[in-house]
């Protein structure tokens, strides 16, 4: 039995190193020896039992199974289950420990395996140098701080040399010069400057459209000061990153769902802190269609109102972007979901997403229909994104001590409301602000980890039912405001270079 062990110190925080290594299927993006890798049978990249099937750049094929993974101990074990190299009974372990002196990371990588007689030395060297030492250096290039003692310039052929380091990039954007209707959106040429410290420059491949974009365009929300582009959600590829950015590298697939506005563009420079790397299992269209909506659903179901099995939920607009995700996820969590929508077509989509019942406009009021379905009790929680037209009905549909989560106002501001009237049902009222729940990298990481897991496990299904070229953003807004859409809307930029 041959034992190979190597260790090193990486000049980066343990969280940065672990974020890269815990992606069991991500080694083809950083290890120079790996040409291509994929997970078998739809497993998650951090799921114990997952098998990665990959080829080395020399052509050899290997299959490795994840045996264990611990986020608390920052370690995982894996074994070779099939190999065109004579590495038999191969089991390896990777473990990280923090080095408090300078906030660095100690990394240990060790394995045991059998080989044919006479090949012990050359295969031992292959693992030690071609796998471990090469992997150490690749991770250093990816996560270490600029100017540290290990970093070397990236070769000219790597993605790091792709952009012109200090040049601005000309981009196309859909902007407004003044607040108003959808017709105010028009195409313009803008400049995406080279990223400064803590910034990243992204070439967009897909851009999400959300109702908050309408509020920004109309001036209802002052997040956008004309002239400028709306948009808070997009996916794409990192062109280059500024000093101090350690979690994103050139060529990485990324997405974001955060202010400031400006996503309606082909290229954008922005702060990197809330931009997240995309796992291989999430394509760009899905990310742009579902990141903001999915993060909103995660917050509403797990933080604003921590949904419990057995509760009854009323969801307005259950065929819409956030509403459809709420229905799917709440059903998975063991809630009975009632949807409230405007047409039989949308009702069919809501039932397909998991709604046990769907209410349509009729002779009876919404609250009367809810109480008929719940034996007169009402629902435990209402998720209401409509606002003015539904607020009073939502209050009336609640069970005693129920919770009204008013997270949108598609029909307008609810105006003044006598909160004393809420005492009749001991109603709890929440009006969450997305930014308060997603303002730090730690918050975004926790939310997106749960969301990506839910997408991987098919708990939620993100559907980009409506796709428009970026230049047709005005028409996308008209469709959204006219309630002619179900699911998500995505803008596709035309790439000039």
Q: What pLDDT is stored for residue 149 in this prediction?
A: 36
If asked whether residues 255 and 373 sit together in one domain, one would say: no
Q: Lowest-confidence range among 379-383, 416-420, 472-476?
A: 416-420
Q: What is the pLDDT of residues 138-151, one digit of tens each?
A: 898 888 755 433 33
Q: What pLDDT is stored for residue 409 in this prediction?
A: 79
Q: What pLDDT is stored for residue 240 in this prediction?
A: 94
Q: What pLDDT is stored for residue 495 in this prediction?
A: 66
Going by pLDDT thresholds of 50, 70 and 90, the confidence category of residue 410 is confident
If asked whether residues 115 and 191 sit together in one domain, one would say: no
Does residue 95 register a pLDDT over 70?
yes
Q: What pLDDT is stored for residue 321 in this prediction?
A: 87
If asked whether residues 136 and 164 sit together in one domain, one would say: no
If asked whether residues 208 and 315 sit together in one domain, one would say: no
Is 302 within a domain? no
Domain-terminating residue out of 416, 432, 448: 432
Is 187 within a domain? yes
If asked whether residues 138 and 37 sit together in one domain, one would say: yes
Q: What is the pLDDT of residues 45-79, one digit of tens each?
A: 888 999 999 998 878 899 999 999 998 899 999 99
> Based on the number of CB atoms within 10 Å of its own CB, is 171 exposed (0-12), middle (13-18) or buried (19 or more)?
buried
Q: Which residues of 271-292 are buried (b: 16+ CB within 10 A; e: fewer)?
A: bbbbbbbbbebbbbbbbbbbbb
Q: What is the pLDDT of residues 250-299, one digit of tens each?
A: 999 999 999 999 999 999 999 999 999 998 889 999 999 999 999 999 99
Residue 36 token pair: 């291509």
Helix 14-21 × helix 134-143 angle, to 10°: 120
Is 321 within a domain? yes
**Which residue reads 């559907």 in tokens?**
463
Instruction: Give Cα 432 distance to the centre of its chain.
Output: 20
If asked whether residues 426 and 483 sit together in one domain, one would say: no
Domain-terminating residue out of 143, 173, 205: 143
Q: What pLDDT is stored for residue 154 in this prediction?
A: 37
Instruction: Give the other-Cβ count within 10 Å of 440's Cβ.
Output: 11
Collect all residues with Cβ–Cβ distance below 8 Å to 469 and sequence separation of at least 6.
491, 492, 493, 494
Is 453 within a domain? no
Q: What pLDDT is stored for residue 167 in this prediction?
A: 86
If asked whether residues 103 and 186 sit together in one domain, one would say: no
Is 299 within a domain? no
If asked whether residues 24 and 56 sit together in one domain, one would say: yes
Is 149 within a domain? no
- Which domain covers residue 68, as residue numbers? 2-143
If asked whether residues 120 and 187 sit together in one domain, one would say: no
Q: What is the pLDDT of residues 98-139, one digit of tens each?
A: 886 667 899 999 999 999 888 888 888 889 888 998 899 889
Going by pLDDT thresholds of 50, 70 and 90, the confidence category of residue 328 is very high
Q: What pLDDT is stored for residue 484 in this prediction?
A: 86
Cβ–Cβ < 8 Å for 256, 233: yes
Instruction: Give the other-Cβ count within 10 Å of 395's Cβ.
Output: 21
If asked whether residues 109 and 186 sit together in one domain, one would say: no
Is 276 within a domain? yes
Q: What pLDDT is stored for residue 150 in this prediction?
A: 33
Looking up residue 95, the CATH number of its domain turns out to be 3.30.530.20
Does residue 333 register a pLDDT over 50?
yes
How many domains does the chain contain in total? 3
Looking up residue 403, the CATH number of its domain turns out to be 3.40.50.720
pTM for this entry: 0.66
Q: For the chain, what percent of residues have pLDDT higher than 70?
A: 94
If asked whether residues 103 and 56 sit together in one domain, one would say: yes
Cα(51)–Cα(212) distance, rounded to whole angstroms? Answer: 41
Going by pLDDT thresholds of 50, 70 and 90, the confidence category of residue 405 is very high
If asked whether residues 258 and 383 sit together in one domain, one would say: no
Going by pLDDT thresholds of 50, 70 and 90, the confidence category of residue 379 is very high
Does residue 36 register a pLDDT over 50?
yes
**Which residue reads 């998720």 in tokens?**
383
Domain-terminating residue out of 114, 143, 172: 143
Looking up residue 208, the CATH number of its domain turns out to be 3.90.180.10
Does residue 25 register a pLDDT over 80?
yes
Q: What pLDDT is stored for residue 393 in this prediction?
A: 94
């Amino acid at each position: 039995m041959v034992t190979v062990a190597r260790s090193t110190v990486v000049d980066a925080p343990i969280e940065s190193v672990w974020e890269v290594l815990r992606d069991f299927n991500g080694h083809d993006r950083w290890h120079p020896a790996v040409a291509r890798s994929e997970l078998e049978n739809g497993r998650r990249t951090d799921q114990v039992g997952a098998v990665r099937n990959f080829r080395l750049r020399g052509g050899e094929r290997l299959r490795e199974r994840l045996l264990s993974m611990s986020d608390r101990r920052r370690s995982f074990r894996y074994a070779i289950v099939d190999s065109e190299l004579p590495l038999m009974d191969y089991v390896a372990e990777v473990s990280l420990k923090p080095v408090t002196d300078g906030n660095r990371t100690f990394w240990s990588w060790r394995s045991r395996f059998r080989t044919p007689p006479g090949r012990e030395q050359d295969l031992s060297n292959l693992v030690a140098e071609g796998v471990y030492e090469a992997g150490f250096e690749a991770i250093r290039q990816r996560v270490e701080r600029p100017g540290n003692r290990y970093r070397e310039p990236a070769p000219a052929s790597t993605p790091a040399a792709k952009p012109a380091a200090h040049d601005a990039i000309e981009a196309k954007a859909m902007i407004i010069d003044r607040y108003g209707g959808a017709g105010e959106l028009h195409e313009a040429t803008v400049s995406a400057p080279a990223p400064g410290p803590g910034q990243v420059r992204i070439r967009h491949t897909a851009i999400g459209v959300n109702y908050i974009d309408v509020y920004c365009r109309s001036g209802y929300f002052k997040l956008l000061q004309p002239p400028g582009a709306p948009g808070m959600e997009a996916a794409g590829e990192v062109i280059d990153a500024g000093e101090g950015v350690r979690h994103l590298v050139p060529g990485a697939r990324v997405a974001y769902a955060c202010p400031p506005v400006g996503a309606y563009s082909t290229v954008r420079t922005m702060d990197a802190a809330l931009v997240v790397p995309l796992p291989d299992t999430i394509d760009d269209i899905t990310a742009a269609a579902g990141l903001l909506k999915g993060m909103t659903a995660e917050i509403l179901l797990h933080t604003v109102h921590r949904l419990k099995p057995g509760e009854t939920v009323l969801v307005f607009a259950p065929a819409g972007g956030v509403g459809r995700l709420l229905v799917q996820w709440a059903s998975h969590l063991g809630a009975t979901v009632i949807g409230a929508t405007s047409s039989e077509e949308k009702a069919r989509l809501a039932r397909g997403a998991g709604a046990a019942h769907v209410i349509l406009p009729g002779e009876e009021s919404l609250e009367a229909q809810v109480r008929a379905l719940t034996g007169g009790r009402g629902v435990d929680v209402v998720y209401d994104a409509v606002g003015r037209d539904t607020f009073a009905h939502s209050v009336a549909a609640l069970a005693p001590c129920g919770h009204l989560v008013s997270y949108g106002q598609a029909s307008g501001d609810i105006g003044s409301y006598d909160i004393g009237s809420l005492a009749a049902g001991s109603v709890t009222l929440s009006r969450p602000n997305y930014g308060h729940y997603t303002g730090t990298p730690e918050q975004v990481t926790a939310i997106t980890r749960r969301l990506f897991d839910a997408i991987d496990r098919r708990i939620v299904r993100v559907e980009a039912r409506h796709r428009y070229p970026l230049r047709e953003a005005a028409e996308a807004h008209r469709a959204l405001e006219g309630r002619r859409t179900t699911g998500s809307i995505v803008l596709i930029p035309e790439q000039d270079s």
